[in-house]
A and B are shown apart, each in its own frame.
Chain A
Amino acid sequence: MFGSTAFLVILLLSLFVFAVPEWLKYYFTLGLLTAGIALSTSWCTGVLPDAGQTCELSLFTAATGTRMVLVIDSLSAFFILVINFTVLVGFLYARGYLEPYRARMNALRFSIHYFSYLWLWISMLMVVMVRDGLSFLIVWEIMALSSFFLVIFDAEERSIMKTGISYLIQMHVGMFFILVAFLIVQQDTGRMSFDALGEYFGRHRNLPVFLLFFAGFAIKAGFIPLHTWLPEAHPAAPSHVSGVMSGVMIKMGIYGIVRVLAAMQSDLLVTGVIILIISLVSGVLGVMMAIVQHDLKRLLAYHSIENIGIIGIGLGLGVIGQATGNHTLSLLGYSGGLLHVLNHSLFKSLLFFNAGSVYLAAHTRNMEQTGGLMKRMPWTAILFLTGSLAICGLPPFNGFISEYLIYMGMFGSLSGANLFHSILIVGSIAALSLIGGLAIFCFTKAFGIVFLGEPRSDQAGHAREAGKSMIYPQLATAAMIIFIGLGSPLVVKPVFGIVGQIWNLGAQPLVSGAFTANLAQLSLAGGIFVVTVAVLLLYRRYHLSRRVVETGPTWGCGYTAGSAKQQYTATSFAYNYNHIAKPLLQTRKEIEEIGEDEIFPHGRKFLSHSDDLFKRHLVDRPVDLVSGLLKRIAVMQTGQIRHYILYAFVFMLLVLLLAMLKII
């Protein structure tokens, strides 16, 4: 009872963000946030170690008699921890990030920003805790609204406002699907709640309602082809918000999918195959589109789609495992997916924070204008490198662990599988390895172009390292990344427990025991690797200390007047790739050819741009079509009263006519 009162107090106090003096606002919000995080984390401690326990909190009783109840089971607890960590780190980072904005924005803007940030966090917590359908939709809506206000924080630019509106619309399309799904369940069972799902699924075909839920949640999560809001909204938002949105908010979609999957009872195989195929497409296309981006944050946004794809591959495999009675596959697939939720929240938020630091220092997100930042911002560079290695799934970082689990599920299920299953799994293995390869291509490009070489613009040349208050929180995230990478058994075991409990997987203790041993070996291999690197580097240092070490210019093939402009750019790095991927990506070039009679060519521009095919055909085309149609109808709006009276007259005539013919 104590917990719920405290929680309500925090909710009420959040209003005072508007009242406190300007210098106190940040710390006031931070205080509330820390208190709330401590509180909600304490709820989890009772639930996590002993999977199967749930913790119930009655928040308040409405006048109508319905109680607002928060239920925390192990799945909620897992998501609460993921949310809390990234939200806190993001807010600590925000202090330094928002510094330059203080001069040009008034206090009210900041109040709205902090208030929305608090409520984004609160709504996400509630999303994973409420079970009642109506309450769920309300907090889901609050989440969309608060994140909308966060996205448009910097809305001096019209384009950002436009992006925000488009985001809001797409979120509501998603909500509509969820609402319809809940209503169908309510029609049948009389209850509108996640708890009623099991009852409904027990009596009816599972697939249609699942697809409705999936469509709704997939818009939030960003599965292709429902991802179109994501690469627009993430770059527009301030970086700490992008980090939180990409790190945890889109995972709320995954949470919803997991809740629904946990209740499903039939149609499992087809569901699993659908999820798997959509996820594979999201994974491969997401990273393929990421490679051709010039905007660092947009590149990261497309990578979120890829990682959501990887999470989805895990979940899809889990469902297939359930359908075929292969509990090991289920356990590994679901655990890999869930662990990737945690992992992605860490490295993606870290990368977004870094991108924010780069933006503050170099005043651009365009990679072609950066370069050589590692010398100017060493800490940011090392953190970005950590994040890049982790997101590529390379050992000994955390991304590898979740991908390893998913791979193991796939490899392990191959030997006894039938023809269809074998082909599906081998295809998925090939796709996942391709995703890994493409991610390496993408992040060698991102890291190499932004941080290495020489600065490509004056702004980049004058960049300064981000402040300490921005670096320290990121170090915490990086430490978590390495901790999960090297100490994986400690983290994976609870995840196994959660998965085993949600889906009642009988084989769980046996498999998780054997797997923890494998993971321990994995940690050992990682440890050996780290030690080898350390030994080699120490010896190298000793070795070079006794040799002549000089510096000179980079080898320019004999040409000594090379400039920073001659370096490889992001576009040229991706040129080869672009050549192959052209049919899928439709990159456009704009160049004015040199005419034959032009003896002294004047200055020219070269533009290359890659559209998102899905956005063009799924969003832009239909919207253009509808608005074109509406514009044509708008001729009727003449602004002259006599015309309107005529319309009314014609309408009444029509009604009369139809009534006479007994049509209405």
Chain B
Amino acid sequence: MAGFVLIAVAAFFFPGVILRTKSIASGRKGPGIFQPWKDIAVLFRKGSVFSDTTGLIFRIAPSVTLATVTGAMLFLPFAEQKAVLSFEGDFIMFAYLLALGKFFTIIAALDTGSSFEGMGASREALFSMLVEPAFFILIATFAMFTGYTSFSVIFNHFFITGNDYVLIYSIIGAYLLVQIAMIENSRLPVDDPKTHLELTMIHEVMILDYSGFDKALIHIGTYLKFAIYGSLIYNLVVPAGWNVILQTGLFFAVQALFAVVIGFTESFRARNKMNKNPKFILTLSSIALIAFMVILILTEKLA
């Protein structure tokens, strides 16, 4: 349960930290740390405008997507506590639930009949498809290294093996997760959420027609997803056996660091050219294969 609650709390600060980092890095005064949530409060107060073309799918998609994200949160452990739901193979459910959310986001964009949104949908479908193998190879290395197939148990046993070189693997894994999170949440270098031209957007163009309540749900989903990946990264670098109070502090520190990294990346980096993106994403799969090699060496299968 702790994992679930902590992710929800972290999601509360996450977008604000990114925003502050970007403001400071670009020398602006910028909005306050809670601005994103204030925006959401505004959205909740507002009414909605729906396109005539849209139908049922467009209306249910944000709710379904948010439900997939909260569902995925149930599988993440914290410290030595088990996650709310923990069973063998829960990470498969985790990944496929998030994919279900993607599915609905994509068809909701197609529901508007807009060529812009169709374009965004096509790109999002392609990129999230390409990133899938990287994530699965990564969790395969988890399973191979620890011999378990559930997030809770894997992270509990991650550092117990007594092999100090695990840290090398943790770092590669954390790097991969940061990149996967950036792609899954449509941030730089694959997509730029602050771009102003529909033709160059991916995720933003898909949700152009949303307003009010539904848009708020979409934003909440994105923030939670950031915190979910942050929590995965945290579990990968901090041993589960440490003191719980210390860990709570570290949890927020890691989340904050993750947000700052995103903020800095977005301040100092340009977005990839659109047709470079597939190559960029496929590179992640090869990095995941490096992680696999590291594990092969650690488990002494490859000497």
| Chain A contacts to B: CB under 8 angstroms | 371-372, 374-375, 378, 385, 389, 392-395, 400, 403-404, 407-408, 410-412, 414-419, 422, 425-426, 429-434, 436-438, 440-441, 443-445, 447-449, 452-454, 514-515, 517-518, 521-522, 524-525, 528-529, 532-533, 536-537, 540, 543-544, 547-557, 562, 564, 566-568, 572-577, 579-580
Q: How far is the CB of B184 from chain A (nearest CB, A)?
A: 12
- Known pairs A448-B110, A568-B121; A529 contacts B68 (CB<8 A): yes
Chain A binder among B19-27, B205-213, B236-244, B262-270:
B205-213
Chain A binder among B7-15, B57-65, B222-230, B248-256:
B57-65
Task: Judge whether B99 and A440 touch: CB under 8 Å.
Answer: yes
User: Can you name 6 extra interface pairs (CB under 8 A) apart from A430-B133, A452-B113, A533-B63?
Assistant: A385-B107, A395-B93, A415-B145, A550-B48, A566-B115, A567-B114
- Known pairs A517-B87, A568-B122; A425 contacts B140 (CB<8 A): yes
Task: Judge whether B96 and A518 touch: CB under 8 Å.
Answer: no
- Known pairs A429-B137, A441-B129; A412 contacts B115 (CB<8 A): no
- Known pairs A536-B217, A548-B47; A453 contacts B125 (CB<8 A): no
Task: Judge whether A573 and B121 touch: CB under 8 Å.
Answer: yes
Can you name 16 A-B residue pairings with CB atoms under 8 Å?
A: A392-B99, A407-B89, A412-B88, A412-B149, A426-B137, A444-B110, A444-B125, A448-B106, A525-B75, A532-B66, A536-B66, A537-B60, A548-B48, A551-B49, A553-B51, A572-B122
Bound-state CA distance A430–B292 (Å) is 12
Q: How far is the CB of A444 from chain B (nearest CB, A)?
A: 4
Task: Judge whether B121 and A567 touch: CB under 8 Å.
Answer: no
| Chain B contacts to A: CB under 8 angstroms | 44, 46-57, 59-60, 63-64, 66-68, 70-71, 74-75, 85-90, 92-93, 95-97, 99-100, 102-103, 106-107, 109-119, 121-123, 125-126, 128-133, 135-137, 139-141, 143-149, 198, 208-209, 212-214, 217, 275, 278, 285, 292, 296, 301-302
Q: Interface of chain B, helix or strand or loop or mixed?
A: helix
Q: How far is the CB of B174 from chain A (nearest CB, A)?
A: 20
Task: Judge whether A395 and B51 touch: CB under 8 Å.
Answer: no
Bound-state CA distance A543–B146 (Å) is 47
In-complex Cβ contact of A547 among B47, B89, B198 (8 A): B47
Task: Judge whether A452 and B57 touch: CB under 8 Å.
Answer: yes
Q: How far is the CB of A125 from chain B (nearest CB, A)?
A: 35
Task: Judge whether B296 and A419 touch: CB under 8 Å.
Answer: yes
Task: Judge whether A573 and B118 touch: CB under 8 Å.
Answer: yes
Task: Judge whether A411 and B122 touch: CB under 8 Å.
Answer: no
Q: What B residues does A573 contact at CB under 8 A?
A: 110, 118, 121-122, 125
- Known pairs A426-B140, A533-B64, A533-B67; A555 contacts B51 (CB<8 A): yes
**A-B residue pair count with CB separations less than 8 angstroms:** 272
Task: Judge whether A552 and B51 touch: CB under 8 Å.
Answer: yes
Task: Judge whether A433 and B135 touch: CB under 8 Å.
Answer: yes
Bound-state CA distance A410–B129 (Å) is 21
Bound-state CA distance A543–B45 (Å) is 9
Task: Judge whether A375 and B140 touch: CB under 8 Å.
Answer: no
Bound-state CA distance A309–B92 (Å) is 19
Q: What B residues does A436 contact at CB under 8 A?
A: 96, 99, 132
Task: Judge whether A415 and B213 touch: CB under 8 Å.
Answer: no
Q: How far is the CB of A627 from chain B (nearest CB, A)?
A: 41
Q: What B residues does A400 contact at CB under 8 A?
A: 93, 96
Bound-state CA distance A461–B44 (Å) is 36
Closest chain B residue to A388, Cβ basis: B103
Task: Judge whether A437 and B129 touch: CB under 8 Å.
Answer: yes
Q: How far is the CB of B57 from chain A (nearest CB, A)?
A: 6
Q: What A residues does B143 contact at CB under 8 A?
A: 411-412, 414-415
Task: Judge whether A374 and B57 touch: CB under 8 Å.
Answer: yes
Task: Judge whether B50 and A549 touch: CB under 8 Å.
Answer: yes
Task: Judge whether A444 and B106 touch: CB under 8 Å.
Answer: yes
Q: How far is the CB of B173 from chain A (nearest CB, A)?
A: 15
Task: Judge whether A407 and B92 touch: CB under 8 Å.
Answer: yes
Closest chain A residue to B216, Cβ basis: A543
Bound-state CA distance A415–B154 (Å) is 12
Q: Which of A395, A404, A425, A552 is most buried by chain B, counting CB atoms within 10 A of its CB?
A: A395
In-complex Cβ contact of B146 among A393, A415, A452 (8 A): A415
Closest chain A residue to B107, Cβ basis: A448
Task: Judge whether A580 and B278 touch: CB under 8 Å.
Answer: yes
Q: What A residues does B63 contact at CB under 8 A?
A: 533, 536-537, 540
Bound-state CA distance A543–B217 (Å) is 12
- Known pairs A452-B113, A567-B115; A547 contacts B46 (CB<8 A): yes
Bound-state CA distance A438–B127 (Å) is 10
In-complex Cβ contact of A576 among B126, B217, B296 (8 A): B126
Bound-state CA distance A385–B106 (Å) is 13
Q: Which of B54, B125, B212, B217 is most buried by chain A, counting CB atoms within 10 A of its CB?
A: B125
Bound-state CA distance A308–B70 (Å) is 33
Closest chain A residue to B122, Cβ basis: A573
Bound-state CA distance A404–B59 (Å) is 30
- Known pairs A436-B132, A533-B64; A547 contacts B140 (CB<8 A): no
Q: How far is the CB of B66 from chain A (nearest CB, A)?
A: 6
In-complex Cβ contact of B133 among A434, A533, A572 (8 A): A434
Q: What A residues does B135 contact at CB under 8 A?
A: 433
Q: How far is the CB of B87 from chain A (nearest CB, A)?
A: 4
Q: What A residues does B123 contact at CB under 8 A?
A: 576
Task: Judge whether B67 and A532 touch: CB under 8 Å.
Answer: yes
Bound-state CA distance A392–B51 (Å) is 28
Task: Judge whether A408 and B110 touch: CB under 8 Å.
Answer: no
Q: How far is the CB of A391 from chain B (nearest CB, A)?
A: 11
Task: Judge whether B122 and A576 touch: CB under 8 Å.
Answer: yes
Task: Judge whether B121 and A549 touch: CB under 8 Å.
Answer: no
Task: Judge whether A422 and B301 touch: CB under 8 Å.
Answer: yes
Q: What A residues does B198 contact at CB under 8 A?
A: 557
Q: What A residues does B47 contact at CB under 8 A?
A: 544, 547-550
In-complex Cβ contact of B111 among A389, A404, A448, A562 (8 A): A448
Q: How far is the CB of A401 from chain B (nearest CB, A)?
A: 11
In-complex Cβ contact of B147 among A415, A433, A434 (8 A): A415
- Known pairs A452-B55, A554-B53, A577-B126; A528 contacts B71 (CB<8 A): yes
Q: What B residues does A580 contact at CB under 8 A?
A: 126, 278
Task: Judge whether A449 and B103 touch: CB under 8 Å.
Answer: no
Bound-state CA distance A528–B126 (Å) is 29
In-complex Cβ contact of A419 among B44, B68, B92, B301 (8 A): B301
Q: Which of A416, A436, A525 is most buried by chain B, counting CB atoms within 10 A of its CB?
A: A525
Q: What B residues does A562 contact at CB under 8 A?
A: 114-115
Q: How far is the CB of B82 from chain A (nearest CB, A)?
A: 12
Q: How far is the CB of B122 from chain A (nearest CB, A)?
A: 5
Q: How far is the CB of A478 from chain B (nearest CB, A)?
A: 16
Closest chain B residue to A447, Cβ basis: B107
Task: Judge whether A567 and B118 touch: CB under 8 Å.
Answer: yes
Task: Judge whether B113 and A567 touch: CB under 8 Å.
Answer: yes
In-complex Cβ contact of B137 among A392, A430, A524, A533 (8 A): A430
Q: What A residues does B145 contact at CB under 8 A?
A: 415
Bound-state CA distance A524–B84 (Å) is 11
Q: How far is the CB of A506 from chain B (nearest CB, A)?
A: 20
In-complex Cβ contact of A529 among B67, B129, B208 (8 A): B67
Q: What A residues does B119 contact at CB under 8 A?
A: 568, 572
- Known pairs A430-B136, A533-B67; A453 contacts B103 (CB<8 A): no
Task: Judge whether B213 and A448 touch: CB under 8 Å.
Answer: no
Q: What B residues does A433 contact at CB under 8 A?
A: 95, 132-133, 135-136
Bound-state CA distance A472–B68 (Å) is 30
Task: Judge whether B128 and A394 touch: CB under 8 Å.
Answer: no
Q: How far is the CB of B195 from chain A (nearest CB, A)?
A: 13
Q: What B residues does A403 contact at CB under 8 A?
A: 92
Bound-state CA distance A568–B124 (Å) is 14
Bound-state CA distance A574–B116 (Å) is 15
Bound-state CA distance A445–B123 (Å) is 12
Q: What A residues does B208 contact at CB under 8 A?
A: 555
Q: How far is the CB of B165 from chain A (nearest CB, A)?
A: 18
Task: Judge whether B114 and A411 touch: CB under 8 Å.
Answer: no
Bound-state CA distance A612–B113 (Å) is 31
Bound-state CA distance A419–B297 (Å) is 10
